[in-house]
Structure 1
Amino acid sequence: MVPLSFAGEEFVLTQGRALYWPRERALLVADLHLEKASFYARHGQMLPPYDSRETLERVALAIRETGARRVYTLGDNFHDSHGSTRLEDHAAGMLAALTRATDWVWITGNHDPAMEARSGGTIAEELELAGIVLRHQARAGETRPELSGHYHPRLQVTVRERHIRRPCAVVASGDGSGGRMILPAFGALTGGMNAADPAIRDAMQPAARIDAVLPLAGKLAQFPLWRAAA
């Protein structure tokens, strides 16, 4: 875990793609996409049906590592709004235990706009916590501090002829913005978008600069993605 300053607050970015907010004792995770495998199975593409178990094990580990007492999920919690009805008993029990042990808030996303909190927790489309907006998809033109998901950003770089692709957070700063951050996808069965993709850049405006950040060798590594013309 590495410290990260954002919007005047101190956070911790974990190796497992979660963001921890010590002052709020809150863990933030984006894009769990629970029951993605069962969604594909219903449409004829058979995948190992254990993605929800693995994702929930990751959440449980992040809670233990950070000591979080609150959990905020930043949308696309299930791969579709009916995903919670397909949880097998073991995964459903894991999720129910997690929502009982923490103050759990589901923020809905484009994949699960009509989801129900069948295994506990409460649901919100978005909310503001200590002056920071929590929502699923970054809103272009937003000048308040904002935490979101949706884009599954991955840093893609070539170092000494090696092509490296790693999940990362994307942070926008300056130019009248209070700071914006897109979290990496947390789920076990999620792909990724190049963090330098114009769709991410456009969603993060206004900004003076945009950087990819991720834990690397126990430190916070920062890679510039875009800077406004002088």
Structure 2
Amino acid sequence: MNLVTEHITILNEELILTNQRAIYWNKESALILSDLHIGKTAHFRRHGIPMPDDILQKDLRRLRELINHFNTRRLIIVGDLFHAETNSDMDTFKTWLKQFDDLSLVLVKGNHDRQSQRLMDELNIHVESTLIIDPFIFVHDPSDKTMKNFTFSGHIHPGVLLKGKGKQKLRLPCYQVSENQIILPAFSLFTGLNTRSTITEVVSYAFTDSAIFRLQ
């Protein structure tokens, strides 16, 4: 994993954007991400669509390296940790979690997170509809409305479309940062990109495997 970082400050809090689709919040020793969509590949295979077995493994390997790199104590997922019904990918995730002794996992429930409370308890995941850790609020769905508190969200899988000479086009994932919120890219590599932003007055931090760059 090639890790590139960009430091920004929001409300006097140091945040580290990474090109690996997650943000590290220094004060809380927290890694923040969205839209991991565990179970998506197994769901497709169950419905007869062939999918490689290692898609989830690659996402979890990258997440493990981020957790270890930042010495993360808290994992905050702003929605869509899971994708579909309970399937074999949940067993993979359960086994993966066992390697962390002191990691606290909080899920802000997303539209795909329909698993039972029994499964959440079994995985030791604390579930909230909205999470408040001063000075931030964590939700799943972004909003373009003026809010009193700064929010973190995901859901829309933001990206940017860069146009080159002729018909050359490049689509990249990004963080969308505005006056009152950050919208995170989907953590899973097995997701689409939404390059049609409805958020106004936004700064996009797009990234590749080797760089992060600011677009306004």
C-alpha spacing 1:127/1:89, structure 2 compared with 1 (3 Å):
closer
Identity between Structure 1 and Structure 2 (%): 26
Q: Deviation at 1:55?
A: 1.5
Q: Give the CA deviation at 1:169.
A: 0.4
Which amino acid in 1 is paired with 2:159? R
Deviation at 1:217, TM superposition (A): 9.2
1:62 is displaced (CA, Å) by 0.8
Code of the aligned partner of 1:131: P
Q: 2:96 aligns with which of 94, 109, 114?
A: 94
Number of aligned residues: 207
Determine helix, strand or coil for the equivalent of 2:107: strand
Instruction: Return the alpha-carbon distance in structure 2 between the equivalents of residues 37 and 48 of structure 1.
Output: 8
Kindly provide the amino acid, as one letter, of the partner of residue 108 in structure 1: K
Runs of 4+ in 1 over 3 A off after TM superposition: 88-91, 113-116, 159-162, 214-220
Task: Specify the SS of the correspondent of 1:168.
Answer: strand
Q: What residue is the counterpart of 1:187 in the other structure?
A: 188
> 1:228 maps to which residue?
none
Residues 9-45 of structure 1: per-residue CA shift (max 9 Å, x gap): 2100112010000011100010000110111122221
Q: Which of residues 16, 19, 35 is equivalent to 2:39? A: 35
| Matches for 1:1-230 after TM superposition, within 5 Å | 1-80=5-84, 82-83=85-86, 85-87=87-89, 89-98=91-100, 100-115=101-116, 116-117=119-120, 118-143=122-147, 144-161=149-166, 162-173=168-179, 179-194=180-195, 196-198=196-198, 201=199, 209-215=201-207, 221-224=213-216
Q: In the aligned structure 2, how far is the partner of 1:90 from the partner of 1:76?
A: 17
Hey, what's the Cα distance between the residues in 2 that align with 1:71 and 1:142? 27
Gaps of 5+ in 1: 174-178, 202-206, 225-230
- The 8 Å contact of residues 13 and 214 in structure 1, kept in 2 or not, is answered as no
1:62-90 Cα offsets, whole Å, 9 max, x none, are 1112221111011010112x33x423655
* TM-score (ref. length: structure 1): 0.81
- The amino acid across from 1:92 in the alignment is K
Distance, in Å, in 1 between the alignment partners of 2:71 and 2:160 is 28
SS state at 1:71 partner:
strand
Distance 1:7 1:159 in 2: 36
SS at match of 2:203: strand
